[in-house]
Amino acid sequence: MKVRSSLLRIAAAAAVVSGACGDALALQERTAISAPWAVGPDGSLMKDVTLVIAGGRIERIFQGPANISVDRTIRFEKGVISPGLIDVASALGVVGDNVERKNVLDPDASVVEALDSHSPLLQAAAKAGVTAAMIRPAPSGVISGAAATIRTVAPHGVERILRADGPLAVTLGPGSWDVDLGATSRAGVLHHLREAMRTAKAAGGSSRLARMVRGELDAIVEADSAEDVDAALALFGQYNLSPTIRHTSDAVEAAAELAENRAVVVVGPYTFGSDLRVLSGPGRLGKAGCEVAFSGGLPFWEADALRVSAALAVRYGLDPAAARRGLTINAARAAGLGNRVGALTPGADADIVIFSGDPLRLDSRVIEVWVAGVRVHHGPPEPLEEADGWRAW
Amino acid sequence: MYGPRIIGRVVGSRFGLLRSSVLALALLGSTAAPAADDVLVIRGVSIHGRFAGGPDIDKGIVIIRDGRIAAVGGMDLAVPRDATIIDLDGGSVTPGLIDACALLEPTDRITAEARGGRPRQPLPPPPDFTEQHADHDDHEGHNHGLDAPPDPRAAPILTWVEEPVEAGGLACCALDTCAMAAMHEFLGEGTICPTCGQVILSEEEHALYASGLAPRTSLVESSSEVVPHTLVIDTINFRSPDFDRLVRGGVTTVFASPDSAAVIGPRGAVIRTAGPIRSRVISDAADVTASFGSDSFRVGPGNQSPFGNFVSNRTRRPNSRMGVAWVFRKAFYDAEKGLAGHAVTGADAPPAEAYELLGSIRAGHTPLRLKARLQRDIEAAVRLAGEFGLSFTLVEATEAYKCLPTIVGAKAPVIFGPIYIDPNGVRGFSEETRESRLSTFALLVNAGVETALTAMDLREEDGLARQAMYAMRAGVSFDETLKAVTLTPAKMLGVAEQVGSIEVGKRGDVVVWSGRAFEATSRPVAVVMDGKIVYDAR
Amino acid sequence: MKPKFRGLLGAALLAAGFSFAGRQVVRASEPPAKIALTGARVIPVAGEEMDSATILIEHGRITAVGKDVKVPFDAMEIDCSGKVIMPGLIEPQSWRGLDVPNETLPVAPFLDVADAMDPSRLYFEDALRDGITTIHVIQADNTVIGGLSRAVRSIGLTPDEMAVATNIALKLSVTPRSGWDRMQQMATFRETFRELEEYIGNLAEQKYEESLSKQNKKVDVGPAEARERGRKLITDADYDDQHRNLMRLKRGDLIAWINVGAAMDVAPALKLATEHGFFEKAVFALGSETFKAIGELKKAGRPVVLPEDLFHRERDSVTGEIRETFIPAKIHEAGLMFALQPNPNSSMAERYLTYQAALCVRHGIPRQTALEAITLNAAKMMGLGDRFGSIEAGKVANLTVYSGDPLDFNSWVEQVYIDGILAYDRSDDPRLEELLRLEGVAKKADEAKRKAAEEAKKESAPPAEEGAKPKPTEEAKPAEGAPPAENARPRRGTGGGR
């Protein structure tokens, strides 16, 4: 809990700073967007929704006929307004440059320093409706640095980096084992992490680890199997922390413990070839009371993999509303930006996507993408470059 | 700080809470304990293993109330109303079995796929990075992995690089970790890879090992040969089917032992085999196990001699029995120096984290186990322990029959097992198993050595109950045998106050057998832990 | 290493071995005329178990069994009270006595296992020690049509001396031999039997021509009719080696011992047996997963030999759970007659047929069925049910004497009688003694303990536990009987619950 409230403050401060240097003209225009459907904050579909955007943010949201004065009105005869999708634990824009193979504990590395904003992969993701990504340093050792959250598309005047400092990326399980780094087993890895947290707690100060232990910096823990989940929850529990857990397959066995942890569980990516047991994981987590967010494995997987993962999770038992939350608000919460992006609520950034249908349906395509109140992409057949305000690259 | 920590039942939702809690908690019922009126009655059975509580009863009743044994007696014992009743004429009851040195399924190197479900189909690689991942099935470019430096883009954020790779009908747990993985196919089945030290297996065998039916991969930290500061509890998968198998075999409490891949290995844990996951740990940091013999340089990733100028973390001692003794001796010597504030030097110096614990072992605060199979290894263990004045428990002791006087003279208790004649399965891979004898355990018992019996990695049909059966075949009496799998190990683990016999006040851990226990024609029909039926095959 | 046969052979048998000459099938030895085993609990397998019964053996045959059998005045009486006597166990199939278990030719019905048998194999000695008196020696599974099998005693110096019956069965394998696929396997069967028909046709035609030419007549009918008429003229001597045994198989003179290693092989095996007329003589040797075709096996109703490992373990491909099936339970449920094999790959217990039977009892199969599965059933499958497999008047005196109940793992095989001759005695088994040698080492340990105790005294340390223990009063002799039970072992103070 402490973690989250402190993050809100950090995020809010960042938002104020960014607003000051934004493109005033484009962002100040008051726009109303209406569509027959929209994804509500709880993930359910709301009917006949009008969204008022001003200053790059969502000002109001109505259901039913709206009678307000705006600078322009855009009406979609069909389609669903959704918050921009967010890929968690992504490698968008940082491929090939985000592994520091030096220490078993590298809390001071920052993945944002490896970001290539010109990567065409970001553009591909944006086209698929992914407006933001929580990028994380590739696992190397137990703590591989701070993750960051970026926009996949940032028109002039719109900030690219939503959050540069955190959460801290922790890896348990085989991904963190390296004989040269000094740990080759679960016992070795946990010894290092346990000692590091103990030392950081004792030493205090403003190091990232000390902040994490005090609850001022959140953590995302890669734990592929149930015993890693157990170990993570037990260890972080000693400091009354609730880390976000990311898992891909086996960790669902620890669903009850994950639910008790009350933090978002990041799952995916999935394909049709995934194991049935694995595919049914999100459904089982949902039933146990967990909130899930999806990782689409971008950019190694097709940009649509994020939506495909969610759709498969629904097919194998996850509640559709929970799946939509997983693509949007839960992902934002995992990134520590739950008040800023990921939901169509007044005050949030106007990062929205208009799909031709339910985002969970595979035949739905992206019609338009808006970022901070600026339309950045018209769906096919129109070429991307002709979209309004498109000046990012 | 480094003494055996008895932390009892976990009461809170976190291990953390638990660790700060003290011994007092251990004796209280846990939150998972049955409700106040929860009574289980086992009726009509012969009752064995009362030990201090009285003689065996031919036909009697055991009453377990609130998770504790409340009464034991003949058929005239008053049975409370509303009790759950197990009626079993001709059956018998023994205390829950205790394995003092269980090697639990090491899940470390086994991926989720290997533990369950079919191997996933290879995931579609992204168009840009196809070359990076094609080498698994690229037969022509098989040396790809040898000269190409690891591409950071292939870091494990890609879920598919972690999966077990199957090439040419061969599979191996080490394929994702071994630098020479591509060579495995060419080395052929049954050979040992010189790089990773893994035995290369056929797919069927791999499935067998991966299933935990025959564990052999190492779970011990291998960045150093001296790792007593690490904990086995960290590697334990409490959801492992291995625990189910233990329960089905009547085993209710185990010492989770590390394997013998390190000279001075991690600290084991005393855990229960069933119950709510967070209430299973009795002690999270128990004995340290040191290993004599060839295991410490053969098991796990293995140590290599330097190849030309190629020196790595693996090119280290020991490579021989001399090396094992050297590393063991140097560890204690260096720890003494290090604790006294002197500089510690040399290539095989133990990590600084280990000093305090090594000192604690020497001071006798942390119990030590020495694992040795061959006669010469047993003798070396006794000699080295004598050098530093260490008291210890001898483990495995396959050739104990050759050096009984040494063992008796050392006054060391022994955790013996498993009993076998021909080493089969995983035991066949070691040259230290050739001269096992059926009668060794009987000899140890007859010589008055305090001996517990262990099944180590063997389960179910082959498990601890069968070890007891073998012991009896070699002539040990039923009572002595039963003691060797219940009360003796309980004492060795320091939990004899709680478990190990059917006595009023102890935990309600009993095994109900269809006939007389340890007989070929009888099997556990119900296993009761803390008064709850955790396995029921009536 | 001690001579292999020491402790295994009675003197009479050795004498017989030396007097053996020429290629004639001899009895292992001339047994004592009359023996009476008295006082033992007898498990005849056929019929009720009897306490303190007498078995009368005359010239190697059982002539009477029962509680009130009078011991004739001229019989050698052996007191077996406290022991349990079973019929000698029968191993339903084994190739462990062969130096090479398979011929490389896929179709080799002309072979006889006698040519590959090695009587000096440790296997035979082990079999005897474990109470097995009769072994069906047969070729292994890596074949299409293999050679002739024979039933042997587990003792003897040559294959012929060991034999109790020759030409028992022909080995067939529906499961493909290594490197082959099922299509090739079945095509080879078809080709073999088609070729057999053709060969017989030609032979018949030739015989008919010959018979006519003896009468100076010319062939006066078409080839089809000539073949038909000639068939009756063929005698067994006319067949060549390749075809003689195949013909005997088709005629029903040989048992078809069919290896069906997988469930999918059952249907083709039944079809093959039905088409070529040996269904009524078929015995199916099952693989681990063959029980899945239990419906077809039940319909066929033929006897089956179970795999060595009685458990089938398999991982569910979806849930990942390991499913374990106890095969005999399935077979017993289907009402099929089955025989058990020892499992040489096990760590220890499953190497004993009696333990395999105990496993069956443990999993709910009636004791009688389990006992039949290690004795009588195998004899019946080989067509020797009238001579072996139970303790009944008229049967061969192959007996195993146990120290206790055979299904109790604490029991040991004390003696084995083959043809009424003492073939094995545990008190004279050097190998077992080596394995269980307790005396010598125990003495040394006692000395060491005494020394340690003395030292402890010398050091004037507080009296250690050892000092408090009572001194052993006599030497333990556990190697003699099974449990050294209440020997002079010092008791530790902790127990007391006896």
The interface residues of chain A toward chain B in range 65-124, judged by CB-CB distance below 8 A, are 89, 91, 95-99, 101
Q: Is the pLDDT of residue C217 over 70?
A: yes
Phi, psi of B205 (to 5 degrees): -60, -40
**CA B49 to CA B502: how far, in whole Å?**
6
B chain contacts of residue C449, beta-carbon cutoff 8 Å: 408, 447-448
The pLDDT of residue B1: 36
Provide, for chain C, the percentages of residues in helix, strand and coil under a 3-state DSSP scheme, each rounded to the nearest 5: 35, 20, 45
Residues of A in contact with C318 (CB under 8 A): 276-277
Q: Which two tokens stand for residue B211?
A: 């299933």
Q: Which residues of C touch A279 (CB under 8 A)?
A: none
Task: Tell whether B177 is within 8 A of chain A (Cβ).
Answer: yes
pLDDT number for residue C316: 67
Class level of CATH domain A84-334: alpha beta
Specify the 3-state DSSP secondary structure of B374.
Answer: coil
- Test B230 with A224 for CB contact under 8 angstroms: no
Our CA-based measurement puts residue B231 at a distance from the nearest CA of chain C, in whole angstroms, of 29
Let me know: does B280 contact B272? Beta carbons within 8 Å. yes
Taking the C-alpha atoms of residue C71 and residue C54, their distance in angstroms, rounded to an integer, is: 8
Please tell me which of the candidates A138, A186, A302 has its beta carbon nearest to residue B152: A138
Is pLDDT of C15 > 50?
no
Continuous H helices in B156-235: 181-187, 203-210
Contacts of B475 in chain C (CB under 8 A): 436, 438, 478, 482-485
Put simply, the answer to whether B117 touches A275 (Cβ < 8 Å) is: yes
Whole-angstrom distance, CA of residue C299 vs CA of residue C336: 10
Q: Evaluate whether residue C54 is within a structural domain.
A: no
Q: Is there a contact between B262 and B537 (Cβ–Cβ < 8 Å)? A: no
Q: Domains (ranges, CATH) in chain B?
A: 99-105+219-499 (3.20.20.140), 112-126+138-210 (no CATH)
Chain A: closest CA distance from residue C313 (Å): 20
Contact A276 C318 (CB under 8 A): yes
Q: Nearest residue of A to residue C316 by CA position?
A: A277
Q: Tell me, what's the pLDDT at B208?
A: 45
Ramachandran assignment for B346, one of left (phi > 0), alpha (psi -120 to 50 degrees), beta (any other): left
> Which sequence spans correspond to the domains of chain A?
16-82+347-386, 84-334
What's the token pair of residue C294? 């239990």
Average pLDDT over residues C37-42: 96
Residue-level pLDDT at C69: 94
Cα–Cα distance, C218 to B243 (Å, whole number): 85
C169 domain residue, yes or no: yes
Question: Would you say C169 and C150 are in contact if contact means Cβ atoms under 8 Å apart?
Answer: no
Q: Give phi and psi for B483, each to the nearest 5.
A: -65, -35
- Note the pLDDT of residue B134: 35
Residue C477 banded pLDDT, cuts 50, 70, 90: very low
Domain that holds residue C150: 90-173
Which positions in chain B touch A97 (Cβ < 8 Å)?
A: 152
pLDDT digit string (tens) for C181-209? 999 999 999 999 999 999 999 999 999 99
> Interior CA angle at C197 toward C191 and C200, to 5°?
135
Neighboring chain B residues of A250 at a CB cutoff of 8 Å: 112, 115-116
Nearest to B405 among C444, C464, C486 (CB): C444
What's the order of all strands across the beta sheet hosting B288-291? B264-267, B288-291, B368-372, B393-396, B414-416, B451-453
Inter-chain contact C320–A276, Cβ cutoff 8 Å?
no
Closest CA to C113 of C140, C131, C88, C86: C140
Q: Which residues of B touch C317 (CB under 8 A)?
A: 117-118
Q: Which residue of A has its CA nearest to B258?
A: A187
Residue B282, C-beta contacts closer than 8 angstroms, at least 6 positions apart:
B6, B7, B8, B26, B253, B269, B270, B271, B272, B493, B495, B498
Higher pLDDT, A8 or C359: C359
pLDDT at A103: 79
In Å, how far is C318's CA from the nearest CA of chain A? Answer: 6
Residue C110 in any domain: the answer is: yes
Which of C316, C318, C321 should be substituted to probe chain A, the one whose Cβ sees the most A Cβ atoms within 10 Å? C318
DSSP code of A65? -
**The pLDDT of residue A10:** 45
Judged by a CB distance cut-off of 8 A, whether residue A276 touches chain C is: yes
- pLDDT at residue C139 in the model: 94
Position B177 pLDDT exceeds 60 = no
- Confidence at A247, pLDDT banded by 50, 70, 90: confident
Closest-CA residue in chain B for C365? B521
Given a contact cutoff of 8 angstroms between Cβ atoms, the answer to whether C489 and C469 are in contact is no
- The C-alpha atoms of residue B486 and residue B53 are separated, in whole angstroms, by 14
3-class secondary structure, B511: strand
Q: Do β-strands A244-246 and A265-267 pair in parallel, antiparallel, or remain unpaired? A: parallel
Q: Does A281 touch chain B (CB under 8 A)?
A: no
**The residue type at A283:** G
DSSP structure string for B358-402: HHHHHTTSS-EEEEE-SHHHHHHHHHHHHHHT---EEEE-TTGGG
* Closest by Cβ to A186, choosing from B17, B124, B235: B235
CA-nearest residue to A250 within chain C is C320
To which residue do tokens 């063959």 refer? C290
Task: Indicate whether C237 belongs to any domain.
Answer: no
**Burial class of C398 by CB neighbour count within 10 A (0 to 12, 13 to 18, 19+):** buried
What's the confidence (pLDDT) of residue B201?
Answer: 58
pLDDT of C141 strictly over 80: yes
Q: How many Å apart are CA C413 and CA C405, to the nearest integer?
A: 10
Report yes or no: C464 at the B interface, CB cutoff 8 Å.
yes
CA C354 to chain centre: 12
pLDDT at C23 over 50: no
Q: Give the total residue count for chain B.
A: 538
Identity at A236, one-letter amino acid code: F
What is the arithmetic mean of pLDDT over A192-206? 92
pLDDT digits (tens, 9 = 90+) for A254-267: 888 899 988 999 99
Sign of CA dihedral A221, A223, A226, A228: negative
Residues of chain B with C-beta less than 8 angstroms from the C-beta of C345: 424
For residues A384 and B416, the model is more confident at: B416
CB-based contact (8 Å) between B304 and chain A? no
Residues 401-440 of C with CB under 8 A from B: 407-410, 412, 435-438
Give the C-alpha distances (Å, rounded to integers) separating B248 from B134, B533, C110.
Answer: 44, 12, 50
- Cα–chain center distance at A272: 23
The CB-side HSE value for A77 (13 A sphere, CA atoms) comes to: 0
pLDDT cut 90: percent of chain B above it? 50
* Mean confidence (pLDDT) of chain C: 84
Measure the CA–CA gap between A315 and A319, rounded to whole angstroms: 9
DSSP for B43-65 reads EEEEE---GGG-S-EEEEEEEEE
A366: helix, strand or coil: strand
Residue of A nearest to B174 (CA): A174
Q: At what angle do helices C223-231 and C182-214 cross, to 10 degrees?
A: 90
Subunits close to B (at least 3 CB pairs below 8 A): A, C
Contact B188, B182 (CB under 8 A): no
Give the tens place of pLDDT for each residue, B267-299. Answer: 999 999 999 887 899 999 999 999 998 888 777
d(CA C100, CA C121): 12
| pLDDT at B399 exceeding the cut of 90 | yes
User: Of the candidates C395, C428, C405, which has an alpha carbon nearest to the alpha carbon of residue C125?
Assistant: C428
Express as a percent the part of chain A with pLDDT over 90: 51
Which among C315, C408, C476 is the nearest to B207, CB-wise?
Answer: C315
DSSP H or E segment with residue B265: strand B264-267
Residue B125 has pLDDT above 80, yes or no: no
In a 10 Å sphere around its CB, with 0-12 CB exposed, 13-18 middle and 19+ buried, how is residue B45 labelled? buried
Total tally of structural domains belonging to chain C: 1
Task: Report whether B530 contacts B507 (CB < 8 A).
Answer: yes
Percent of chain B topping pLDDT 70: 68
Residue B468: per-residue pLDDT: 95
pLDDT at A334 exceeding the cut of 60: yes
In the structure encoding, which two tokens stand for residue C376, read together?
């009588």
Mutation site for C-interface testing, chosen from B439, B450, B492, B514 by largest number of C Cβ within 10 Å? B439
Q: What is the DSSP letter of B318?
A: -
Residue B127: pLDDT band with limits 50, 70, 90: very low
Partner residues linked to B40 by β-bridges: B64, B84
DSSP string, A184-206: -SHHHHHHHHHHHHHHHHHH-SS
* Candidates C322, C358, C407; nearest CB to B241: C322
- On whether the CB atoms of residues A387 and A377 are closer than 8 A, the answer is yes
- Measuring CA to CA, which residue among B116, B361, B398 is closest to residue B226? B361
C156 CB-near residues (< 8 Å, 6+ apart): C17, C28, C119, C162
Set of chain B residues whose Cβ sits within 8 Å of the Cβ of C469: 448
Give C412→chain B minimum CA distance, Å: 8
Q: Are A155 and A376 in contact (CB under 8 A)?
A: yes
Checking if the pLDDT of B262 tops 80, the result is yes
Q: What value does the mean pLDDT of chain A take?
A: 85
Q: Which residues of A touch B219 (CB under 8 A)?
A: 185-187
- On whether residue C77 sits in a domain, the answer given is no
Tell me which chain A residues have a C-beta less than 8 angstroms from the C-beta of C319: 277
Nearest C-alpha of chain A: how many angstroms from C262?
27
CATH topology for A16-82+347-386 is Urease, subunit C; domain 1 (2.30.40)
Inter-chain touch B54–C497, beta carbons under 8 Å:
yes
Model pLDDT, residue A132 = 96
Q: How many CB pairs under 8 A join B and C?
A: 162
pLDDT band at residue A279 under the 50/70/90 scheme: confident
- Could you give the ipTM of this predicted complex? 0.77
Q: CB count, 10 Å around CB of B194?
A: 12
SS3 content of chain A, % helix, strand, coil (to 5): 35, 25, 45
Chain C: residue nearest A275 by CA? Answer: C318
User: Please, which pLDDT band fits residue B36 given cuts at 50, 70 and 90?
Assistant: very low
Nearest-by-Cβ selection for A187 from B14, B109, B266: B266
Q: Judge whether residue C457 has pLDDT over 90.
A: no
C98 DSSP 8-state letter: B
pLDDT digits (tens, 9 = 90+) for A131-161: 999 999 887 788 989 999 999 999 888 899 9
Contact A31, A172 (CB under 8 A): no
Q: What is the pLDDT of residue B281?
A: 92
Q: Which burial class, exposed, middle or buried, applies to C322 when counting CB atoms under 10 A from its CB (0-12, 13-18, 19+)?
A: middle
CA distance B398 to B416: 7
Mean per-residue pLDDT over chain B, rounded = 76
**Helix segments in C104-154, DSSP class H:** 122-129
